[in-house]
Structure 1
Amino acid sequence: MISSWRRRRAGRRASKEQRRGEIGDMEITIPSHYRCPISLDLMKDPVTLSTGITYDRVSIETWIEAGNQSCPITNQVLRSLEPIPNHAIRKVIQDWCVDNQSYGIERIPTPRIPVSSVEVSEILSKITMASKREDQAGCLELVSKLKASAKESERNKRCIVANKTGSALSAAFETFAKASFERNVSVLEEILSALALLLPLDDEAKAFLGSAASLHCMVWFLKGGDLSGRRNAVLALKEALSLDEQRVDALSEIEGALEALVKLIKEPICPTATKASLMLIYHMLNSSFPKDTIVERFLDMGLVSLLLEILVDTERSICEKALGVLDVICSSDKGKEKAYSHALTMPVLVKKLLRISDLATEFSVSILWKLCRNEKREEGGVLVEALQVGAFQKLLLLLQVGCAERTKGKATELLKSLNLHRERLECIDSMDFKDLKRPF
């Protein structure tokens, strides 16, 4: 009896597996009205245009973002570029997927409805009114909602940016900053966090962030905020001060601003913050603010040593910016003296020639030229050191492979100066200092 029951169970199992195999070999035809007219795939997020034709959201938005303003099927000009979610066809497609699960068809998930321009405009209007009332809690909730939408998808982020969100948030930041840093710290920090997601900002947003109240507030975050607050503040400062000398000068005069920027290099948070800090320092060194004064302040903070240490081993973009800052510093006599006295200066500069990028090579040659020009020290100390670490060979190779005319002129002048001392000592290959012990 038991054996017959086992035979029956085995028979049922074999029959089921046979049916499953037959089903697996069958091809399921997707109904044509469930397919996107553009991709011809099953629609996962069907949306309907003003012409009444339904497409998959990804396909039609790609079409519109390419600059097309007509319906792909009817060629009619679209009255609105905002596609409307077609919930009815989406539910029908989901039901069809469920009915055909046995054929390996998976049910499409219910998509999140992306944010629309109308919704963004309404939120921004409420943020503006809340900031004028100094309603910190209300504004904080609205900014958090906007930030969450931006993080949800690239489509949402593009929509949010396109509706001048950066300007509205920057204006709200200035309003709360004028009221009180300490009292409004939560909403100010949230606004900076949202702005960091929406970079780059437009000129109107930069103007709000470049106001005296906004600059003081961002420096306040730089000096005493948490890691994310300091990162977001330096990114916003970089946006606000780009190519605006008046704002750069204003930042230079704020107490503790220079120290906070140097601290970001000394105690890095992330590469993005380090790059922003280096760019701000570069703009400050090139501003109309008395150069000798600001260079001296940076030198007293040990900036030259910090720059040389990060140049030993860092990524391309940081390397270029650090060399750019060092190049400006070496335009002053005190800056050159600091560079002269550091053991890593010559080895690092020669090592960067032809190894990072054309820009890094240009900065390296410029710094070497400034350090070696009009060398009056006994026995040409700087020139001899440059020779010992392989500068002659590197510069010769640079002229052979080609470079910009300005760099070529400096390299040629350097070679002439180096050649005067070349017979007195044996030059070594630049790779011979690769195992040089670092003093840190």
Structure 2
Amino acid sequence: MVLGWRRRRSARHAGNKHPGNADVDLVIPNHFLCPISLDLMKDPVTLSSGITYDRESIETWLEAGNFMCPATNQILRNFDQIPNHTLRKMIQEWCVENQNYGVERIPTPRTPVTPVEVSEICFGVKASAQLLEQLRCLELVQKIERWGDESERNRRCIVANGAAAALAAAFDAFANDSVERNYRVLEEILSALNWMFPIDAEAQNFLGSLASLRCMVWFLRCSDIILPKQNSIIALKELVSCDQQLVEKLSEIEGINEILVELVRKQISQAITKASIVVIFHMVSSSNEKIKLAFVKMGFVSSLLEIIFESEKSICERALGVFEGLCSCKEGREEAQSNALTVPVLVKKILRVSELATVFSISAILNLCKYGRRDEGRVLVEALQVGAFQKLLLVIQVGCGDETKEKATELLKLLNPYRAGLECIESVDFKNLKRSF
């Protein structure tokens, strides 16, 4: 097979060591090419059918549910992939011989981790955690991380063979013993778990224990390093997103509300800010009015308005969800009504950020107009002055969900009596508007 155009391009990028060779067509031997991708094989493996493929290509084929050899259509007796070291060395030698044409030597691939190896190391993690052998457990967890860093295939194998449950159980054991004494291994376990989410029910039970939750809150409060904070808040986000019952357990931990608000206000990193807002969203979405009141008393309503006004899309969307949740309680509505930014910012975000952001904005405005008792009618007048009526009509016209349509219609009815001489249209909001719902 001749891949002349590809090699000429590679030669130009190879530093022009041999400019005279730039127009030479380089022929790759057919047996060096994967029968599936038709690319040079990086990690050739042979199946039970006797045909050799590149490991990545054949794994993708098998994971798609295929049971036959793609080249021969022969049903495979097993799915074993035997590394073809002889062919791989031949390919590497060919690459070295042709490096003047811009061909790079293919590195020797690492042997993928096997399910048996994963099971053995998980057993070791559990055993060392039961005995509180911190150094041994730390060593095993770091090995799991190294495996995961090598390839996406390793990560899938690690997750599929129960690593998340083993690590979560170890985390719970060390957290129950002493966070201060075991903080190093606890940090490492959280780091390893970070790329295993979503985790199974068994792992959730261990990681959602009171001792584990207290440990993660301790990292949020005490750690001066960003990574443990980030891993902890991401773990909390994943847990409360999967199990609303954990919200009540988390809210009982002393100082959690203050910590979350501080993380949002400081904006240490985008990942921490997003995860913190999601955790707060699930907390204010609960039926516990005390949780909402606690955030309102900390002045979080004003902080949210600033974030909604100036943040990028994903953070703005999440912040609007929290704001809408706080406006569902009396104290939150009163705090929002007393802030001059509230109505202009909420109306501005309708049809500006995303469908979900529009839903949150409309719901929050309706809560302020329908249930607010301070300065009755003032919010409605202010909403009209910044163009709310036209935006709500447009939301209904371009399409929205039934619940959003119902809320928008109800809000239009509330606004209608105040319309005379008060409407304002911002043309920039409707310019080049595309149907996005």
One fold, TM greater than 0.5? yes
Query: Structure 1 CA distance, aligned partners of 2:368 and 2:323?
Result: 11
Deviates further, 92-101 or 225-234: 92-101
1:209–1:237 CA contact under 8 A, matched in 2: no
> Which residue does the alignment assign to 1:421?
418
The Cα shift of 1:206 comes to 1.0
Query: Structure 2 CA distance, aligned partners of 1:227 and 1:320?
Result: 24
> Which residue does the alignment assign to 1:217?
215
In structure 2, the gaps of 5 or more residues are 1-17, 430-437
Deviates further, 248-257 or 384-393: 384-393
Matches within 5 A, 1:283-432: 283-288=282-287, 290-291=288-289, 293-373=290-370, 377=374, 380-423=377-420, 425-430=421-426
1:202 to 1:101, Cα distance in 2 relative to 1, 3 A: same
Query: Structure 1 CA distance, aligned partners of 2:194 and 2:46?
Result: 34
Query: Structure 2 CA distance, aligned partners of 1:329 and 1:372?
Result: 14
The Cα shift of 1:21 comes to 8.8
2:320–2:361 CA contact under 8 A, matched in 1: yes
Query: Structure 2 CA distance, aligned partners of 1:384 and 1:179?
Result: 59
1:130 to 1:400, Cα distance in 2 relative to 1, 3 A: same
1:107 to 1:279, Cα distance in 2 relative to 1, 3 A: closer
Matches within 5 A, 1:101-140: 101=99, 105-140=103-138
1:351–1:430 CA contact under 8 A, matched in 2: no
Cα deviation, 1:227-257, whole Å, max 9, x if unaligned, reads 2111111111122223424321111111111
1:401 to 1:72, Cα distance in 2 relative to 1, 3 A: closer
Query: Structure 2 CA distance, aligned partners of 1:395 and 1:415?
Result: 7
Query: Structure 2 CA distance, aligned partners of 1:378 and 1:342?
Result: 13
2:216–2:233 CA contact under 8 A, matched in 1: yes
1:101 to 1:396, Cα distance in 2 relative to 1, 3 A: closer
1:391–1:430 CA contact under 8 A, matched in 2: no
1:341 to 1:61, Cα distance in 2 relative to 1, 3 A: same
Deviates further, 361-370 or 55-64: 55-64
1:56 to 1:389, Cα distance in 2 relative to 1, 3 A: same
Corresponding residue to 2:188 among 167, 175, 190: 190
> Which residue does the alignment assign to 2:265?
266
1:431 to 1:230, Cα distance in 2 relative to 1, 3 A: farther
Verify: 1:37 aligned to 2:35, yes or no: yes
The Cα shift of 1:100 comes to 4.8
Deviates further, 235-244 or 126-135: 235-244
Cα deviation, 1:313-335, whole Å, max 9, x if unaligned, reads 22333222211211121111111
2:334–2:374 CA contact under 8 A, matched in 1: no
Task: Point out the structure with max Rg over C-alpha.
Answer: 1
Query: Structure 2 CA distance, aligned partners of 1:21 and 1:419?
Result: 76
Cα deviation, 1:110-169, whole Å, max 9, x if unaligned, reads 223332323222222221222122111111122112112212322222222222211111
* Alignment: residue pair count: 411
Deviates further, 140-149 or 33-42: 33-42
- Structural RMSD (CA): 2.5
1:192–1:232 CA contact under 8 A, matched in 2: yes
Deviates further, 160-169 or 37-46: 37-46
The Cα shift of 1:260 comes to 1.4
1:116 to 1:380, Cα distance in 2 relative to 1, 3 A: same
* Amino acid in structure 2 at the alignment position of 1:238: K
Query: Structure 1 CA distance, aligned partners of 2:371 and 2:215?
Result: 45
2:386–2:423 CA contact under 8 A, matched in 1: yes
2:147–2:154 CA contact under 8 A, matched in 1: yes
1:264–1:277 CA contact under 8 A, matched in 2: yes
2:381–2:422 CA contact under 8 A, matched in 1: no
> Which residue does the alignment assign to 2:8?
none
> Which residue does the alignment assign to 2:232?
233
1:273 to 1:26, Cα distance in 2 relative to 1, 3 A: closer
Deviates further, 106-115 or 257-266: 106-115
The Cα shift of 1:363 comes to 1.3
Verify: 1:163 aligned to 2:161, yes or no: yes
Residue aligned with 1:47, SS: strand
> Which residue does the alignment assign to 1:250?
249
Query: Structure 1 CA distance, aligned partners of 2:286 and 2:19?
Result: 76
Percent identity, aligned pairs only, is: 57
Matches within 5 A, 1:42-191: 42-101=40-99, 105-191=103-189
Deviates further, 205-214 or 53-62: 53-62
2:333–2:372 CA contact under 8 A, matched in 1: no
Query: Structure 2 CA distance, aligned partners of 1:100 and 1:412?
Result: 71
